[in-house]
Copies of this chain bind each other. A is one copy, B any other.
Amino acid sequence: MAIATVRNGVNVDQLVQTINAIKGDANVAAFTFRAKTRWAEGSTSSAEMSSFLHAGRHQSHSRNHVLTGCEPEVLLGRDNGPNAVELVLAALGFCYSVGFVYNAAAMGYELEELEYEVEGDLDLRNFVGLEGGSRPGFTEIRVSSRARSSNASEEQLQELCRYVQDTSPVKDIIANPVPVKTSLEVID
């Protein structure tokens, strides 16, 4: 019986199989992810992520993921959930974490601890329709991370941190332009 190699909670055999499958057919790397948001009241909306496309085929999540988004009281909300820009910061931390953990697993590094503190500066003048704001979105994002490994050196982990920045989907989405096409259907 074959016993799978699991490191940092990652099935390394399955990781290697996935990479080989992509090498054999680039279409295996093609995903379309989706989120559906529905406005509730004021600043409160819910988002549902229930399925995605993989290699052109519909895949359901094993369970529906539902989030509530809201604004804090100073931004006229009820603080029912994180706001949209906080979610972007959380997404960056999650993305860095998956990249670090999976690559560490492939390289044989045993991780014992990994944390990201992510912060971003925002000037809300554009959002409220006033002149003088630098831009609507974050002017800068700063990430401080901490990692502990039982068998990787400082140099190996610093090199991995650089590699993860270069290959992180969310880092790329934030640091480089992504085309966004938006349409509205008005219903009676």
A-to-B contact residues, CB < 8 Å: 8-11, 14-15, 18-19, 22-23, 26, 29-39, 41-45, 47, 49, 52, 54, 59, 61-63, 65, 67, 69, 71-76, 79, 81-103, 111, 113-130, 132-133, 135-149, 154, 157-158, 161, 165-188
Contact = CB atoms under 8 A, between A and B. Distances in A.
- The interface residues of chain A, by DSSP majority, are classed as mixed
Oligomer copy total: 2
6 contacts: A29-B123, A31-B124, A33-B83, A34-B118, A96-B182, A136-B172
Given A33-B119, A187-B113, A88 B89 contact: no
A119 B170 contact: no
B141 A180 contact: yes
Contact of A181 (B14, B94, B136, B140): B140
A72 B14 CA distance: 13
B173 A174 contact: yes
A34 B76 contact: no
Given A9-B44, A35-B90, A171-B182, 10 more contacts: A29-B133, A30-B121, A34-B118, A35-B119, A39-B111, A47-B94, A83-B94, A175-B177, A175-B179, A177-B177
